[in-house]
Amino acid sequence: MSDAAIELQDVGKRYWKLDERAMLLRSLLPFARPQRTEFWALRDIDLEIGKGDVVGVIGRNGAGKTTLLRMLAGVTRPTTGRLRVRGRVAPLISVGVGFHREMSGRENVYVNGMLLGLSKREVDRRFDAIVEFSELEDFIDTPVKFYSSGMFMRLGFAAAVHTDPEVLLVDEVLAVGDVAFQVKCAERMKQIREAGTTIVLVSHNLHSVRVLCPRAVVLNRGRTEFDGPVEGAIARHHEILTEEAEAHHAVGEQHYLGGVDVEERELLGPDGPTHYVDANTPMRLRLKARFDRDVDSPLFAFTILATDGTIASRIITPLIPYRRFAPGQDVLVELKFTARLAGGTYRIAESITTSDGLGVLYSSPVPVTFEVGTRHGTYGIADLDSVVTLDGVALREERASGLGVP
C-alpha cells in the first residue's frame, strides 16, 4: 500500500432488495422467507487519492456517489475489496448527521468536535470561530430540533471545517444553503485545500466541481466511467445523461414533473422573425419561460431534427453557476446558432429539465419548424460551406442552369 490519503482496490458494496412486500401472515408461516435479490451499489472500484488532492465525484442519482462517501467515512464497510483512509476524517454526508435534536447548537458543536477527535479545550478555542462562520449567533443556544435544514448545514459545515481535518468528505449537503453561504463555503474549502487537506466533493452542481476540483470521477450504475481531468469528466457525465434521457424518452419512462411554462417562443434571423433562411445564416431561438415552482440550476436543452428524425445537433446549457428560480419568476433564454445545414426542413425541440437531466419541467409540444434553402450540390445534414476548385479556380453555383461553372 502507498502513502496516499485514500485507496480503494476492487471495492464493491452489495445490498439486498426485497422483491415482495413483507406480510404478517406470511412471516408467521414456518420456513417462509421473503424473496430477495442482490443489488450492487458499487462494483470493482479502484481509486487512489493523494494527500492534499481535491477530487470531485459526479454522476446521476443512484450512481453510487453517497455510498462511496459513506464507506470513506466509515459509516458502512465494503462488501468486497480493500479500502484505506489515512488521517482525521471530517464527513459532511447528510444534513444533521451527528446532531442530537434535543440538544442546543452549542452542545452539538462540542459533541461533534469531540466525535471528530478534538478535546474540550480545543473546541473551546475554536468555538467562537465556528459560531461566527455559521452565522447562528442568535440561535446557538436553541435546540437544533427547531433548526431549518439550512441552519443544520451551516452549523455542521462550520464545525467540520474548523477541526483541522486531514480528509474532508462533502456530499450534496451544501445544496440546501443560500448562494452567499455557498460562496463562503467554497472559499473556506479553498483555504483548507491550500493547507494540505484532502477533499472529496460529491455534487450535482457541476460549476462548483469545475471551480474546486482539478480532477473528477464519474460513477454510473455503481462503476467508474471516467477518472481524470474535470473537463473530461463533465463531458462524459453529459454524454451519459444524454444517452439515458434518449433511452427513457424512447420507452416513455422519462419522469415528467412540470413546473415551467413557455409563454413566448420566436425564431429570429438577421432581419427579424423568420421560418426560412439560407445556409450558414446566424439565427436565434428566443424563449420566455415562467417558473411555477422552486427550481435549482435547471438545464435548457435544444434538439435540431431533420425531417426523418435524425438529430442534426443537440445543445445543452453548459456549467451554469448555481441559480434558484422561484415561483412566478420569468427568464429569457436565447439559443444562438448558425444554420450550417444542408437544404431542407428542420425542427427545433426545446426542453427544460432538473439539474441532473432526469426530471422534465417542460417539453415543447410542437417543435419550431424552419426551412433552409438548398445550395446546389449539397446533401445530408451539414453544410460545410465547401468549395471545389479546378486548377485553382473555384466552381460557384450558377442558379440559371443549376450547374457549377467557373
pTM for this one? 0.62
Give 382's strand partners.
Answer: 341
Across 159-163, 286-290, 363-367, 378-382, least confident range: 378-382
- What is the C-alpha separation between 223 and 339, in angstroms, rounded? 39
The Cα–Cα gap between 366 and 383 comes to 26
The radius of gyration computed from the CA coordinates of the chain, to the nearest angstrom, equals 27
Q: Tell me if 335 sits within 8 A of 284, measured CB to CB.
A: yes
Q: Among candidates 292, 358, 305, which has minimal Cα distance to 331?
A: 292
For domain 260-390, give the CATH number: 2.70.50.60
Average pLDDT over residues 162-172: 85
For the chain, the 3-state helix, strand and coil shares in percent, each to the nearest 5, are 25, 35, 35
For the chain, give the mean pLDDT.
Answer: 82
Question: Among 61, 56, 64, which Cα is nearest to 234's?
Answer: 56
pLDDT at res. 127: 93
**Whole-angstrom distance, CA of residue 4 vs CA of residue 11:** 16
Least confident of 114-128, 251-265, 344-358: 251-265
Between CA 272 and CA 283 the distance in angstroms is 9
Task: Supply the pLDDT for residue 402.
Answer: 34
End-to-end CA distance of the chain: 71
Q: What is the mean pLDDT of residues 163-173?
A: 83
Across 24-30, average pLDDT: 58
pLDDT(293) > 70: yes
Mean pLDDT of 136-156: 87
Distance of CA 293 to the CA centre of its chain: 20
Q: How many helices (H) and strands (E) does the chain have?
A: 8, 26
Q: Name the residue ranges covered by the structural domains of the chain.
A: 6-248, 260-390
Contacts of 131 (CB under 8 A, 6+ apart): 105, 109, 137, 140, 158
What's the whole-number mean pLDDT along residues 124-144?
91
pLDDT confidence band for 384 (50 / 70 / 90): confident
Q: Which three cell numbers stand for residue 343?
A: 437544404
Predicted confidence (pLDDT) per residue in 54-63, tens digit: 999 988 888 8
- The CATH class, in words, for 6-248 is alpha beta
> Residue 390 — very low, low, confident or very high, per pLDDT cuts 50/70/90?
confident
Are the C-beta atoms of 171 and 92 separated by less than 8 Å?
Answer: yes
Q: What are the pLDDT digits (tens) for 1-11?
A: 467 899 999 99
Q: What mean pLDDT comes out for the span 308-320?
A: 81
Residue that wins the pLDDT comparison between 326 and 20:
326
Same fold? 6-248, 260-390: no
Task: For 214-232, write each residue's pLDDT tens digit.
Answer: 899 999 999 999 999 887 8
**Higher pLDDT residue, 330 or 383?**
330
Residue 306 has pLDDT above 70, yes or no: yes
Alpha-carbon gap, residue 131 to 155, rounded angstroms: 7
Residue 320's pLDDT is: 59
What integer pLDDT is reported at residue 187 of this predicted model? 82
Would strands 255-256 and 359-363 be described as parallel, antiparallel, or unpaired? parallel
